[in-house]
Each structure stands twice: as structure tokens, then as C-alpha cells.
Amino acid sequence: MLEAIFTHQKIIPVITLDRVEDAVPLAEALSNGGLDVLEVTFRTEAAAAAIQAIRDQVPAVTVGAGTVTSPKILQAAETAGATFFVSPGATDGLLAAADPKSFLPGVATLSEMMRAFDAGFRVQKFFPAEALGGTRFLNSVSAPLPQLQFCATGGIHAGNLAAYLALPSVLAIGGSWMVPAGYIRAGKWDDITRLAKTACSLAVSAIGPGLDKTVQSKGSLSHE
């Protein structure tokens, strides 16, 4: 499932919502801009209800849960209806409770990458990417661990995303620059749509028009 999601869309908006009522218009704004796979982080009390609202009211969007730091949060995210799950790290408890088809464990070292792979997780989250050495680190990792693929997140923005997407080991990147908190609070949905369209254009430029997997027809991903 994760590989299908990240083939469909190369840039995943990472969203933190303080108000449930912002969830649906934000999801619609991003989808209108070509980004119909979203990650809502469990950093606020609104997260579970926001995920459920998007799932129920914006069927064109595939919504995942981020900042899943315990099996309890994983269960809450599943109950809310999230399709995929993302963690900043990878505890033994999470690796045991999660399904490799839908869970993206966070890794920062080769030992963590190897441990997650041994537990069945071939697709992993490299976080915080820029602080850990960015593309140079990932390029070095690809030699001893060619079987791994990554969604890189942390410090990635419009100015450096192309370098990440150029790496064969990077399936996708995550970022929040297209969902500024101030825009969400002010309800600037048209501006967020514009930022989403720009992000899609940047992804197409980075991977080439012949490999355009970012802007596709809506509803092409399963929510099962």
C-alpha cells in the first residue's frame, strides 16, 4: 500500500490541525491543487476527529495519521479511519503492533533502518532528514542497504525537494510549507490550493514529465 501511495503522489502534506472544522476545507483545498494524499499529525486533540471528517466528507482524499508514537495512538488512528500511519521513530512495541503494508516507521541511523527492515518494514521514514545529513546521508545508505526505500521528512521545502526526489531510494517527501499555520487559521483555502499546485509542478519538474505520478485522476487509491 505505501509504495502505491508514494508512487501516486511524491509530496505528502504534513498537517497539524487545532480545529476540527478546518479539516474538510483544508483537504478540499489541497485536493483541488493536486495533492489528494494527506498526513494529519496526532499532535493536537483535534487529530482523530479531523481524520474522520476528511475520511467521511472528502472521499477523493487518502488521509493518513502522523506522529503515531505508541500502539495506543495507532489504535486511535485506525479507529478514526486513517489509511496509513507514520511515526517519527520505531519502538519495538510499534514495530510489533503495526502492519508493514500501511505503517511508515521513522529511522535516523543505519542500525534503526536494519532493525526496522528485519521486522518487515522495507519502506521507512527518514527523519529529521536535513538535520541528519539529507541527501548525502541517504546516498551513502543506498550502497549497503539497497533494499530500502524512504519517505524523507524534516526540513524539506520547495527549494530542496528536487534533490531528494532525484535519489532512487526516495519514493516521496513530506513537508508542511504548502499548509502554513497562518493560512489555515485565516481560512486562506485558495492560497493553499495555489501552494499545492506549485508543489505538484515542482515534483513533476524534479522527476520528469515522463514520470509524472503526482497529479493523477482522483480516487485512484484504495481506502481499504
**220 within a domain of the structure (yes/no):** no
**76 within a domain of the structure (yes/no):** yes
**168 within a domain of the structure (yes/no):** yes
**137 within a domain of the structure (yes/no):** yes
Looking at residue 201, what is its pLDDT?
Answer: 93
Looking at residue 206, what is its pLDDT?
Answer: 86
At residue 98, does pLDDT exceed 50? yes
* Mean pLDDT confidence for 178-183: 97
Count of other CB atoms within 10 angstroms of residue 24: 16
**108 within a domain of the structure (yes/no):** yes
CA–CA dist 23, 201 (Å, integer) = 24
**185 within a domain of the structure (yes/no):** yes
pLDDT category at 221 given cuts 50, 70, 90 is: low
CA–CA dist 147, 131 (Å, integer) = 23
Domain hosting residue 43, numbered range: 2-211
Note the pLDDT tens digit of each residue in 3-47.
999 999 999 999 999 999 999 999 999 999 999 999 999 999 999
Question: Among all residues, which ones are annotated catalytic?
Answer: 39, 125
CATH code of 63's domain: 3.20.20.70
In this structure, of 47-61, 125-139, 196-210, the range with the lowest mean pLDDT score is 196-210
Looking at residue 207, what is its pLDDT?
Answer: 82
